[in-house]
Amino acid sequence: MIPIHSVTMAKPQKLSDQYPHQEIDLINSHEHRPDKPEEACGVFGIYAPEEDVAKMTYFGLYALQHRGQESAGIATFEDAKVHLHKDMGLVSQVFNESILARLPGNLAIGHTRYSTTGSSRKDNAQPAVVETRLGSLALAHNGNLVNTVQLRSELVRNQVSLITTTDSEMIALAIAQAINAGADWVEGASSAFHRCQGAFSLVIGTPVGVMGARDPNGIRPLVIGTLPGLPVRYVLASETCGLDIIGAEYLRDVEPGELVWITESGLASYHWSQKPARKLCIFEMIYFARPDSIMHNESLYTYRMRLGRQIAAESAVDADIVFGVPDSGIPAAIGFSQASGIPYAEGLIKNRYVGRTFIQPTQSMRESGIRMKLNPLKDVLVGKRVIIVDDSIVRGTTSRKLVKALREAGASEVHMRISSPPVTHPCFYGIDTDSQDQLIAATKSVSEIAEQLGVDTLAYLSWEGMLEATQEDTSSFCSACFTGDYPVAIPEQVKRSKLMLETVVV
C-alpha cells in the first residue's frame, strides 16, 4: 500500500468544473479560453539526501508555475517508501509547510500540470505512482503521446489496470510492465520508451534514484543542474529557471533520446534511442519558457529581442511609440524599438496580482470592456501612432478587443506586429491549441485578419526570420504549428480531431 498524504481542498465552483482553463482577463472576459497556446506541464527532479528535497522541489515547481496552473504534485522517496501529495490548484495553494514536512526522503520529483491528454481533475494530477517488483515508481511528464489509443489498447489487452485517463500513467505502466517481466530500472524504462510516440520529457522517481529522459526529437526541454558542495548532487528541471531558484548550476541539457540515471553513485547516461533527431519546439523559445531561462547558451530574453529586431527589419512602419503586450511581448517590442529607432514606452499596465477568477463579470462590464488584467495608459496613447508587439495570435478574440481599447484610449493609429509567423496548424505534442478551424490564420489571409482586428497594419515575422534568429541549425526545431510539417507522424484518428481544413490561407 502506498502511503499518500493529501489535504482536502475546497471544491471548485461549478463554472471552473465546466471550463477548467478559463481565466477572466483583460477584455476577453466572456471567452471560455485564453487566446494563447497553453503549455502542457513543468517537471522537476532531485537526488540530494543531505537536503530537504520536498521543499526544494516545491520551489522548483514554483519557478515552473507558468508551464501549468491546473494541478501540482510532489512524490518523495524515503528508501522503499514513497510519499505523495497532489491536488488541483497552483503550487502555493496545493502545498504548505505542514504538508511538505510530511514528505521526507532522499529524492523527489514534482509536476505542475496543464492538461492536454486527460481532463482537468485530481485523479489526473501528477506524479503518477505505480507499483513494480522493484518497488514504487513515480513519473512526471511534459509533452503528449500521439499513439495513446494504441498504447492503451496494448496495456488493456495485457490486463493492466488504468486508473486515470492520462498518457503519462500509460508510460509509467509500460515501464512497470517491463520491470515486472524481469528488466532493471534503466532497461525497463528504455523498453517502454520504444513503445511511445510523440513528445515526452520525463522525470521518474524510484527507491534508488531519479531518471530523466527525452523523446528522440527532444520536442520538450529538460535540463540538468548541480548543487554546490560535495558529493555532487543533481537536479532535473524543465527550464533553467527551476535550477536558479534553488541555487543549482546549469550543467547541460538532457539530449534527445537520452536517459540519465541519478543515484548515490552520481549521474550515468544512456542513449536509449539510436536515431535522435533534435526538433525542439520553437514556441518554447518564442513564448512558453520564461525569458530568464537559458537555451543555446543565452537567455530567451535575448532571443526574443532579436525576433523584435528582425520583424522591424521586415515590416517597418512610421509611428510615435512601440510597446509590447505584457509580459510576453515586451522583449520583442524592445528589440523592435532598438532596430527602428522608434521610442519604447509602456502603453499597457498589467495587474500582476490578479489571479484566476471564475466569477463572471456583469453584462455591462463586458460591454464597457473589463480591464482586470491590462489597462491602457491614456495619456501615453492619446494622439499617438502606436506599434503594439505580441508573440502570437491564435483566435484573435483578445487582440481585437485590445485594439478597440487602445483606440478608445486615444491612439490615432494602431499597427500590430507579431514576433512569430501565423499559427495555421494545431499542435499534437503537448501544447493545447484549438482545432484548425478555430485558428484565425488557417481561415483568413493577413489582410483579412487585420480587418477583423481593426488595426491599420498587421505584419507577422517570417518563418525564415524566426528560425535564423535562433542562430542555430534551423532544421533542429519543430515549427509544425506554422507549417503543418509534423516531425512525428500523427495517426489519422488523432489528426482528424484537430485538422479540419484541407487548405490553409496564408
Query: Which residues are catalytic, by number?
Result: 41
Write out the three cell numbers for 470: 535562433
List the beta strands (DSSP E) in 89-197: 107-113, 128-132, 135-145
To the question of whether residue 390 is assigned a binding role by annotation, the answer is: yes
- By residue count, the chain amounts to 506
Which positions ≥6 away from 116 have C-beta within 8 Å? Answer: 40, 144, 430, 431, 432
- Is 196 annotated in a binding site? The answer is no
* 481 assigned ligand-binding residue: yes
C-alpha cell at 278: 533534435
Phi/psi region, residue 297 (left: phi>0; alpha: psi -120 to 50; beta: rest), is: left
Q: Are 214 and 255 in contact (CB under 8 A)?
A: yes
Cα distances from 63 to residues 44, 57, 269, 294, in angstroms, run 10, 10, 26, 14
The residues with which 288 forms a beta bridge, in sequence order, are none
SS (H, E, C) 437-451: HHCHHHHCCHHHHHH
Asked whether residue 427 is marked as a ligand-binding residue, the answer is yes
CA angle 75, 245, 124 (to 5 degrees): 30
Is 241 annotated in some ligand binding site?
Answer: no
Question: Residue 87 in contact with residue 6, Cβ under 8 Å?
Answer: yes
Cell of 371: 480591464
Question: Is 17 annotated as a binding-site member?
Answer: no
Residues in binding site for [4Fe-4S] cluster:
281, 427, 478, 481
Residues in binding site:
281, 328, 390-391, 427, 478, 481
